[in-house]
Structure 1
Amino acid sequence: MNKIPAIGTPVRTQAIINQYGLWASKRLGQNFLIDLNVLQKIVEQAKVTDRDIVVEIGPGIGALTEQLALHAKEVFAYEIDKKLIPVLHDTLSGFSNIEIIFQDILKADFAELKGHQPVKVVANLPYYITTPILFALLKSRLDFTSFTVMMQKEVARRIQAGPGSKDYGELSLAVQYYLDVDGIFDVDRRSFLPQPGVDSSVISLVKKRNFKPFVFQEQLFKVIKAGFAHRRKSLINNLLFLVKKSPEKRQQLENILTAIDLPLNIRGEKLDLNKYEQLTSSLIEKGFIS
């Protein structure tokens, strides 16, 4: 008997598409990964072992899910596209360590994972909603050790960017607050069906060792958001959007920046995470924000 090819091969993917009359939904940002080498490299990059609980986002027809299940203890795959219910039940029927949850990841409460955490997140993310998903996961109650995710190459650059770079922004700081980059590799457009119109990268992010949340975490992210609200404006002008503008408030801000050795004309993209934490503490101490 001939062995059934892996789901993530061109021949098997096309057969599944034909069998179920599928199409890649542009609305949901679907592109089927048809390069088995890339799929296996993602699993390797995520360092998945038989002790790991894995959360996958957007399993599609199950190409990455299959490879994860071959290595992981258990895979919880979250899918929003209901037309894929019979497909996944068919393509992954040979596995007992996969649970498919048909739920929007942005609304997930991860109740299914009770008693199964910590987890590794592995996903081929829909490019149109990559940033909201990352923010949602970072702010969720999900106890994770790492993220290994496929995304638009441009977004991967933003995550890695440092102060002063044109790619540096709110996303860079939000991710770098929690995580360190552990590895990255690019993926050719020809690895997908249909081919996307942008370049792709897989980035692996690990939870910071001995991570301790900043004492004013909520205020920190408000200050960071304000700092990048208008990239062409100075940090002071952006921070004035947090309160009612007045000459007195501007003078207070100038005093705060001077006290922490920041130029008065500096822009938000020049500050690293430590400086944003220092700025936030000073703003609270002086009663500028609460």
Structure 2
Amino acid sequence: MRNLASPRVIKEILSEYEFRFSKSLGQNFLVDEGALAGILSGADISEDDCVLEIGPGFGTLTQRLCGAAKKVVCVEIDKTVIPILEENLKDFDNFEIINDDVMKIGIKSLAEEKFGTENVKVAANLPYYITTPIIMMLLESKVKFKSITVMVQKEVAKRLCASEGTKDFGAISLAVQYFCNANYLFDVPNTSFMPPPKVTSTVVRLDLLDKPRVSVKKEEMFFKTVKASFAQRRKTLLNALSNAGFSGFSKAEISEILKNIGIDEKRRGETLSIDEFARLADALTK
């Protein structure tokens, strides 16, 4: 079995299949034994786990996952790497490759079909151009993932793990807090990839909660309120919410609502805790 973490092996595959990396698909393949071991360790993959991998590329991480997990299902959008994956992983009988767009495939039905009631963890080196949409899709899917361990751009990792009052705190930070506990694991230099990206990467693990961190009347209103509060970061909370055009509320009415729940209308969104956002969303829910 070829070691897919070897730059020499990757170069051989590139030549053999006349493969060209796609910038539009964010193809930067990990070739770092230490980082691969760190992902498996951080994700705590065991023989009792089933794993969903998104964007396996040539199968560098997949090779390690198959050696550690009960079952691995990979979703890969690029049809040109499918024969490469099949050849590279031919020694394993516990994996399946699905050639499709993970954003369109219907992740809940996929999980039910492929994993049933098994423990499922997500492990992936996500393409940077679509990292946040993929993470939000996974969190909002209602699939009972045990955890989501992904490599993302360092700046994104900071936002995923940020707390209120910090410059990195934003709508995605609140979404992560709502659904899970975030753990910043370790950084990976750009020299660990082929071809090397222009940024440093970071591995994070999101441990999903049994239920959302806060209870709200309408989840849709909670996220609408969060999004509006961060749409114009330099605006006060009152102006941000007013400019968002919450149906049925005038600026004066929003001011009164903020006053009634004890939130200063001059505060900005990044200063509010998730509990305050929950109170605000409930107050705006008719």
Tell whether the structures are fold-level matches, with TM greater than 0.5: yes
- Name 1:95's counterpart in structure 2: 92
1:266, distance to aligned residue in structure 2 (A): 1.0
In structure 2, relative to structure 1, the CA distance for the partners of 1:126 and 1:170 (3 Å cut) is same
Q: Which residue of 2 aligns with 1:252?
A: 253
Other-structure match for 1:193 = 194
What corresponds to 1:170 in structure 2? 171
- How far apart are 1:252 and its partner, in Å? 1.4
C-alpha distance in 1 between matches for 2:184 and 2:164: 20
Aligned match of 2:219: 217
8 Å Cα contact 1:117-1:143 kept in structure 2: no
CA contact (8 A) 2:229 2:268 kept: yes
3-state SS of the aligned residue for 2:168?
Answer: coil
Where does residue 82 of structure 2 map in the other structure? Answer: 85
| Equivalent residues of 2:178, 2:212 under 8 A apart | no
Secondary structure of 2:186's counterpart equals strand
Contact 2:216 2:278 in 1 (8 A): yes
| 1:32 alignment counterpart | 29
- Farther-moved stretch of structure 1 (260-269 vs 113-122): 113-122
User: Deviation of residue 182 (structure 1)?
Assistant: 3.3
State how 1:51-66 maps to structure 2 within 5 Å: 51-66=48-63
CA distance in 1, matches of 2:117, 2:76: 19
Provide the rounded CA distance (Å) in 2 between the counterparts of 1:245 and 1:81: 42
Question: CA contact under 8 A between 2:179 and 2:211: conserved in structure 1?
Answer: no
- The corresponding residue for 1:113 is 111
Query: Percent identity of the aligned residues?
Result: 42
Residues 24 and 32 in structure 1, CA contact (< 8 A), matched pair in contact too: no
Once the two structures are TM-superposed, the CA of residue 141 in structure 1 deviates from its matched residue by: 3.8
- The reply to whether residue 205 of structure 1 matches residue 202 of structure 2 is no
Structure 1 position 19, deviation (Å): 1.1
Distance 1:244 1:69 in 2: 49
Alpha-carbon RMSD across the aligned residues, in angstroms, is: 1.8
Aligned to 2:234: 232
Match of 1:243, SS? coil
**Which residue identity does 1:154 align to in structure 2?**
E
Q: Paired residues, what number? A: 281
In the alignment, the residues of structure 2 paired with residue 165 and residue 261 of structure 1 have an alpha-carbon distance, to the nearest angstrom, of 22
**Counterpart-to-counterpart distance in 2, 1:265 and 1:245:** 21
Q: Does structure 2 conserve the Cα–Cα contact (< 8 Å) formed by 1:240 and 1:249? A: yes
* CA offsets 1:83-116 (integer angstroms, 9 cap, x no match): 0111011001111000001110101224343215
The aligned residue for residue 245 of structure 2 is 243
Aligned with residue 19 of structure 2, among 8, 12, 22? 22
Structure 1: gaps of 5 or more residues: none
CA distance in 2, matches of 1:87, 1:202: 25
**1:264 counterpart residue number:** 265
Amino acid at match of 1:53: C
Distance of aligned partners of 1:275 and 1:190 in 2 relative to their CA distance in 1, 3 Å threshold:
same
- Unpaired runs of 5+ residues, structure 2, are none
